[in-house]
């Protein structure tokens, strides 16, 4: 797939998309848009149809809100975007001249819905932003991109809004940065936007989250802004005023993706060599570890002993977490790495145990 840029902007990063979670009233939409227009944002967002977790919540103003977005365009010159979740939404938004469409997390997760939208977009030239699915499934995210691409859309961007999780965390939706990083690796020309509002679910960590996105070379941000956030009809806890939004953008530290300075290049090259060398060592060690796992597998097989001994495994984890800490490695990281190594070790032992032993070369 070859993508075209969603934003034709000559200014430096970040591209910014801002506006309320939901369009509530014409006045609220216009007040927010006028304040944001002064800050030169790239795109004004407002949800018209709102996918809510529980019924009886505010589900959006529907089609009348599209006329408010049209007024935003006329009165501020801003481009506007809203979420579409079915074909009917696509037809309505196109009628009202919405500039960019976005697919929400609850839509990306459902191939039927994405296909319905893709079919409605066939032959239309409009940029589309695709949020990640609510569950951390990269293939599903890529699948949605492919469906929209097959409809002929080339100006496709993606929005990272985090992934829902059963575990309590400081985030409303866990970022799992490795997923957007992998998507950027596979498709370097996809415009990657960070929706820090839905990742955080609260105001106090919006800036630090936006900073992480900038440090990871994201193209831009989508942040929910509201003139009176505490009284917003949806997502009140995470919305900020246009003034706070402006402060957030001003406080971001923007770093260059690379430099042409000779000294810098030489030094970074040297450090990268060191990393490559150590990665090689790690791979050699892992290979050796698996050779021993194979031997253990064979030995256990001959003595009819099961692969897993939970008490030994717990002991290994505990000791490693302690050792890791003294080397500046987090317990969470050590656990992840060791679990992956352990699983590979089990796979090796399984293979050895369930393979018929070759008795002699001739038989
Ligand atoms: C939104 O942007 O307001 C929204 C509903 O987001 P998400 O699809 O990420 O939950
Ligand atoms: Mn929202």
Q: Using the atom order of ligand 1, give the atom closest to the CA of residue 159.
A: 9
DSSP state of 129: E
| E strand or H helix that includes residue 34 | helix 26-37
CA 30, distance to chain mean position in Å, is: 30
Q: What domains are there in the chain, each with its CATH number?
A: 15-251 (3.20.20.70), 262-353 (1.20.59.10)
Among protein residues, the one with the nearest Cα to ligand 1's atom 10 is: 105
Cα 301 to Cα 241, 293, 298, 308, distances in angstroms: 66, 12, 5, 12
Among protein residues, the one with the nearest Cα to ligand 1's atom 4 is: 104
pLDDT at 116: 98
DSSP bridge partners of 220? 15, 193
Determine the distance separating the centroid of ligand 1 and the alpha carbon of 59, expressed in angstroms. 12
Using a CB cutoff of 5 Å, list residues around ligand 2, an ion: 21, 235
Phi and psi torsions of 118, nearest 5°:
-60, -45
Handedness of CA 121, 125, 129, 130 (dihedral sign): positive
Cis geometry, peptide bond prior to residue 14 (ω within 30 degrees of 0): yes
- Which residue out of 89, 104, 193 has the highest number of ligand 1 atoms within 8 Å of its CB and is therefore the one to mutate? 104
Measured torsion, CA atoms of residues 59, 62, 66, 68, in degrees rounded to the nearest 10: -70
pLDDT at 358: 65
Segments of the chain with pLDDT less than 50 = 361-363
d(CA 28, CA 78) in angstroms, rounded, equals 16
Q: Ligand 1 — pocket residues by CB below 6 A? A: 21, 47, 51, 104-106, 131, 161, 195, 198
Contacts of 126 (CB under 8 A, 6+ apart): 94, 99, 100, 101, 153, 155
Cα 328 to Cα 192, 271, 319, distances in angstroms: 31, 19, 15
Measured torsion, CA atoms of residues 151, 156, 157, 160, in degrees rounded to the nearest 10: 10
- Which residue out of 17, 19, 21 has the highest number of ligand 1 atoms within 8 Å of its CB and is therefore the one to mutate? 21
Among protein residues, the one with the nearest Cα to ligand 1's atom 8 is: 104
Axis-axis angle for helices 138-150, 178-186 (nearest 10): 40
Answer yes or no: are the C-beta atoms of 180 and 171 closer than 8 Å. Answer: no
Among protein residues, the one with the nearest Cα to ligand 1's atom 9 is: 105
> What is residue 142's three-state secondary structure?
helix
pLDDT at 363: 42
Determine the distance separating the centroid of ligand 1 and the alpha carbon of 17, expressed in angstroms. 13
DSSP state of 170: S
pLDDT at 222: 98
For the record, the structure tokens of 77 come out as 């010159």
pLDDT at 359: 60
Q: Using the atom order of ligand 1, give the atom closest to the CA of residue 51.
A: 5
Kindly give the pairing relationship between strand 15-19 and strand 220-224.
parallel
DSSP state of 102: E
């Amino acid at each position: 797939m070859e993508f075209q840029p969603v934003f034709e902007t000559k200014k430096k990063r970040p591209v910014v998309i801002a506006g309320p979670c939901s369009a509530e009233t014409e006045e609220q939409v216009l007040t927010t848009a006028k304040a944001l227009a002064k800050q030169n944002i790239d795109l004004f967002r407002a949800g018209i149809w709102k996918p809510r977790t529980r019924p009886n919540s505010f589900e959006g103003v529907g089609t009348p809100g599209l006329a408010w977005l049209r007024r935003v365009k006329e009165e501020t010159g801003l481009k506007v975007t809203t979420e579409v979740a079915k074909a009917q939404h696509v037809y309505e938004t196109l009628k009202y001249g919405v500039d960019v469409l976005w697919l929400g997390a609850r839509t990306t997760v459902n191939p039927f819905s994405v296909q319905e939208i893709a079919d409605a977009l066939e032959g239309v030239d409009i940029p589309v932003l695709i949020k990640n699915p609510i569950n951390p499934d990269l293939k599903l995210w890529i699948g949605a991109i492919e469906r929209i691409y097959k409809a002929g859309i080339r100006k496709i961007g993606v929005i990272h809004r985090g992934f829902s999780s059963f575990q309590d965390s400081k985030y409303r939706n866990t970022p799992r940065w490795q997923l957007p990083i992998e998507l950027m690796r596979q498709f370097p020309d996809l415009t990657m936007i960070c929706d820090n509002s839905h990742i955080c679910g609260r105001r106090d960590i919006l800036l630090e989250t936006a900073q992480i996105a900038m440090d990871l070379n994201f193209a831009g941000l989508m942040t929910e802004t509201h003139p009176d956030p505490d009284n917003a009809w949806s997502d009140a806890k995470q919305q900020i005023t246009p003034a706070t939004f402006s402060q957030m953008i001003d406080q971001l530290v923007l770093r260059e993706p690379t430099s042409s300075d000779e000294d810098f290049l030489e030094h970074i090259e040297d450090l990268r060599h060191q990393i490559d060398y150590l990665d090689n060592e790690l791979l050699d060690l892992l290979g050796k570890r698996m050779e021993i796992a194979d031997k253990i597998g064979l030995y256990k097989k001959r003595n009819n002993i099961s692969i897993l001994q939970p008490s030994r495994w717990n002991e290994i984890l505990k000791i490693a977490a302690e050792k890791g800490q003294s080397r500046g490695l987090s317990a969470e990281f050590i656990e992840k790495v060791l679990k992956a190594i352990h699983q590979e070790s089990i796979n090796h032992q399984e293979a050895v145990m369930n393979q018929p032993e070759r008795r002699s070369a001739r038989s």
